[in-house]
Amino acid sequence: MVPEEALQHILVVEDDPNTAEMLTAYFTSLGYQVTQTAWGQDALVLAGQLKFDLVVLDIHLPDIDGYEVCSRLRAQRRTMNLPIIFLTERHERRDRLTGLELGAVDYLTKPFDVQEVRYRVRNILHRSTANPVVHPLTGLPTSTLIEEQVRRLRQQPHLLLVGVRIKGMRAFSDAYGFVSHDDVLRAVALILRNTVAELMPEDVFVGHLSIYDFVLVAPAAQQYLVMGRLYQRLHEAISFFYPYQDWDSGVLQDGTPLPKIEFDIHLANADQLPPSDDLELVRQTLFGPSQE
């Protein structure tokens, strides 16, 4: 019998030949389809051309590091929900625990037990297959569920679409790392859900449109209350994303200015929404061209 994994495609991005060959041979023996590359740029090209179900990604690559590869994958709609397991030679317990706290993004240190990798891969693939329309990091609806809400808004003019964009995240990630970057996304998702639930306890919808763009549905009659409450809650939270000393001084430890996170909030009513369900058109209607 051909295992379920035979239909699932893994991309291994690892520049150490021995590790790459071992992982490729091992996953192939389990029935997965495996593609392997040693370069971050090649991984991005492959991910744009082929459909992968998971990436096993070394952090230390000869061209661009694994965090940058992951950031670019998440910036593209095609790969924004693609689960990733990081491989690294770091041995600090804090790094390991921080990585394991990531939802769909797992973290393994070398040398590793291949059986452990096997089970982590299996569990991640199971989660992503079981709920493919929910963002693995924030748990918010994506893709088809947002399209359904757009169609709903066209039929219900008393509702409008609210867009929330996080700005400054690239510089923030460069300064504080990918773990802190993901913590901000999860925190913003929670703030949006809680704020909308307070204002509209019934029929709440908050979606993850693209990596730094979120959408929610609100009654048009409450648009100013919604915008004001969102603006207040989000800006109250900004200082908690930074180490206290950095926020208090306004500079990083090397003396460079603090990379500030900001929020843009936009509205679109039924008449302003595009006639199709193309989410890229919806995003451009709310925010214009991507700035990050």
Residue where one domain finishes, among candidates 97, 129, 161: 129
Q: What is the pLDDT of residue 95?
A: 47
Q: What is the CATH number of the domain that holds 280?
A: 3.30.70.270
Whether residue 102 has pLDDT greater than 60: no
Q: What is the CATH number of the domain that holds 87?
A: 3.40.50.2300
User: Order of strands across the sheet with 54-58?
Assistant: 33-37, 9-13, 54-58, 84-88, 105-109
What domain range includes position 240?
A: 143-287
Cβ atoms of 55 and 124 closer than 8 Å: no
For the stretch 107-129, pLDDT in tens is 777 878 888 888 888 877 876 66
Least confident of 1-5, 16-20, 238-242: 1-5
- The DSSP annotation for 180-232 comes to HHHHHHHHHHHHHHHHHHHH--SS--EEEEETTEEEEEEEGGGHHHHHHHHHH
For the stretch 258-278, pLDDT in tens is 999 999 999 998 888 888 777
Cβ atoms of 128 and 146 closer than 8 Å: no
For the stretch 212-251, pLDDT in tens is 899 999 888 888 998 999 999 999 999 999 999 999 999 9
Q: Is 257 in the same domain as 206?
A: yes
Residue whose pair of structure tokens reads 């900004």 in the numeric block: 238
* Type of residue numbered 209: L
Nearest of 217, 199, 200, 209 to residue 166 by alpha carbon: 209
Residue where one domain finishes, among candidates 77, 105, 129: 129
Rounded Cα–Cα distance for residues 43 and 98 (Å): 24
